[in-house]
Structure 1
């Protein structure tokens, strides 16, 4: 190996970094290809990332892409090593919680079958989670470093215009049609009898646990929170403010290993067990059961939403006010009910942002019109009725400042963040020992010796 001065491309700063799965490392003949202080990059890491990239493309080998991936891996290791020097840390509880979430997602992708996941990876769930901890710690630390380095990034309107003018006309993207749509969402109100039934069911489960049955086993059998159910109901460590108020208040009132009475929240009824408390951090597990609305409950809700629609159509009530006063979607109460893209956070949506049925409904609506009451099921399985308000639709067009200032502003801001990271990188490497395998000189990661 030779020791080099790194040449860093701004391009790699614009690439997202992904969590490298440790489970596949053994499938590649391994060796260390980069050292950054006490940290290393293995050949298997590079090859795995490269194979993932090829699968996302047309599969044609691309050595330039492999070099760009290596630059990104190198940049991440520099950030991680510098974080150690600068004492930038993430809490073990945060890492533990994220590992639990990742494991739950993996189990869901395996069809909720834990045994199937264990057989596929050839490891127990405990071992899988243990192997997730270090790469997750690295990822969270790098995210924190990036946030701190670019915290003061900003661009003025004149900088946005300058950025736009520097883009060649033939390089401006052609944007698809964009939609602005708002919704008013009302969950079905379930009867007292149904709520009493659920409370009794949870109390019976509580009695079984106190009699010696395993909380985790019963969570897997009964809990409607499928993500945590796969973990025996465990939600991992959470800080104050992360959980809904009713759940949080009940959890902080418990003693370690104590089990609550049924607690009602917007998600349903919870049976909560406090596993551990560390100051403002709590580690809990729960069993969630949702009351189910009857057919009569749904009819009542539909009539109520229809009455709101009639007031809106007659101009006796604005859609925004109806949303503020009646919508159950907290995230959109203060923005007139506008639906935001899960990918970009923008209120300007493309066809892919909608499910198929919603897209078909919009296709039949006129601008500024309000839909009839529509049945809706939330991602967590709650039954509801909603109204859609078709605010606006743009035609497909080439990006321009007048119509797409928000997008161009974001691109200019990202460019400024990249510049700040670039400057930071060249300063940071002066404090670190960096050693790169000679086989990767072809990537031109370096200038001079």
Structure 2
């Protein structure tokens, strides 16, 4: 899954999490219990546990140690993370994925969940609040970044649209007739659209710029007036009926409008750089024992 770049350094891989959960389940029951057989030859839970520890144990334990240090340091410095703080990060991620359902499905596909994501967000925000006070961003740095990235900071023309995707022209014309007779676009999208990702949300695709959709779809969407519904549009995916719900005009970037965005970008970059140094310093301050490392 695509993840928020700000969180990426501190997130535990889904495979490691899964291995940790399996290992915990194994230790809660008899280790000599058979989990598989091959021509009568047994594989026990203890053998599985040993294999998981050998493959993932060190990385998982090191992650847990780091997380525990961050937790203890946050308590020591009275750093708290509110529900509002968590929700702000979730809103950013939801926007990146288009909607909450898409985000949830991507998490599930990677073996994770919303609860896991919230835990990761808390970990990230605690770390950020601990390191951020020592980071300085000057006006000169902001100005330099703006000059070097002015084109990408501007607002490109965007369209907000929904669509109903069907396999053949006959079905598309049938749906279009229903729309012309007063049918609800969102309800018809849920009923007919083969695009499962958007159908559950009434066909909504959110905002997109040029180059993000296939050419035939994009050409119609950018020409269509807000509130209007297209005739069936054929692409390699089938036949689309498109409804444009809003538009954003292209807008050239200014230093004043871009300042907060640039500051956040520079802060994120510096957090990634400072994190390793900060972590090493904390490892020296805390008394840490790691039996897996000692056994090597």
TM-score higher than 0.5: no
TM-score by length of 2: 0.40
The normalised TM-score by structure 1 is 0.28
